[in-house]
Amino acid sequence: MLDPTAWHGLVLPVGHRLGPLHDPAGSGPPPSVVRRGDTAELLDPDEAAVWDLARPQRADAQPGDAVTLQERVARARLEPALVDRLVARGLLLHVVPEDSGIGQVSARVRARPLGSSTGGRTASGTVSFGAPGAAPLDVPGADSEVWLAAVYAPDLWTAAGVLRAFWEPDRAAVATAAERERPLARLWAVVPRFLAGGYGHLDTPGARPGGR
C-alpha cells in the first residue's frame, strides 16, 4: 500500500466510473459505481472524491504523479488514508516505474481504449487519436505504438514483451524480465498521458469489455 509519508511514483485509478447508484429509497449521498473488470464496485462519497482526484489530467506535467495527488487530497481536506484504502481494494494502482517490483505491478492491470486512431500525419511524424467528448490528441508515432501494445495485450507485463519483440523483430527468444525493463519504463511514461487525454482507463487483466 502507499505510504502517505513517502509519496512517490504514480497513483492511477483502476476501472471505469459509471456514476452514482440510483436508489429511490436511499437517504443521503448515493454511492458511486466503478466498473472494474466484470464487477461493479461501490465507493462512498469520500472514496469517490479521491478516486476522481487520482484521474490524470491533460495539463499535468506528469499525469498520475503521486505527489500531485497528495496535494489535491490535502486541498480537498480529504484523509490521505483513503488512498491506502482504495489501493488495498485494487481501485487505485500505486506504480513506481524504477522499482524492482514493477513487473509484478504491471501484470495486475491492462489498458482499455476509449477512443481510436484517426490517422497519421506523415509530415510531422505524429498520429492523431479521437474519443467521444475528448479533445483530439496528437502523439509521436513511437508513443502510438506503445499505447497500441498496451491496449491489445492482456496486461502491461505482456505488453512490454510485445514491444521488445517489435523493437527487435529478428529476435526469436521471449523477452526476459530484465529485457522488459526499458519497454515497461516506456509504457508507464506513455499510458498515463493517454489516460489523461480521456483515451482509456486501466482495468484488471483478462476482464471482458463491459462485463460481457
Among 126-130, 146-150, 152-156, which stretch is predicted with the lowest mean pLDDT?
Answer: 126-130
Tens digit of each residue's pLDDT (9 = 90 or more) over 90-123: 999 999 988 888 999 999 999 998 866 666 665 5
Task: Decide if 5 is inside a domain.
Answer: no
Residues 27 and 118 in one domain: no
Say how far apart CA 79 and CA 5 lie, in whole Å.
13
Residues 83 and 123 in one domain: no
Tens digit of each residue's pLDDT (9 = 90 or more) over 161-200: 999 888 887 776 777 778 888 899 999 999 999 999 888 9
Residues 128 and 178 in one domain: yes
Task: Decide if 212 is inside a domain.
Answer: no
Say how far apart CA 117 and CA 94 lie, in whole Å.
28
Residues 34 and 110 in one domain: no
Task: Decide if 14 is inside a domain.
Answer: yes
More reliable by pLDDT, 65 or 128 = 65
Task: Decide if 4 is inside a domain.
Answer: no
Tell which residue, 89, 131, 127, 91, has the closest CA to residue 114: 131
DSSP bridge pairs for 33: 19, 42
128 near 120, Cβ under 8 Å? yes
Tens digit of each residue's pLDDT (9 = 90 or more) over 29-40: 788 899 998 889
Residues 38 and 77 in one domain: yes
**pLDDT at residue 62 greater than cutoff 70:** yes
Residues 192 and 113 in one domain: yes
pTM listed for this prediction: 0.85
Residues 91 and 152 in one domain: no
Number of separate domains in the chain: 2
Q: How far apart are the first and last CA of the chain?
A: 31
Dihedral sign (CA 1, 7, 181, 205): positive
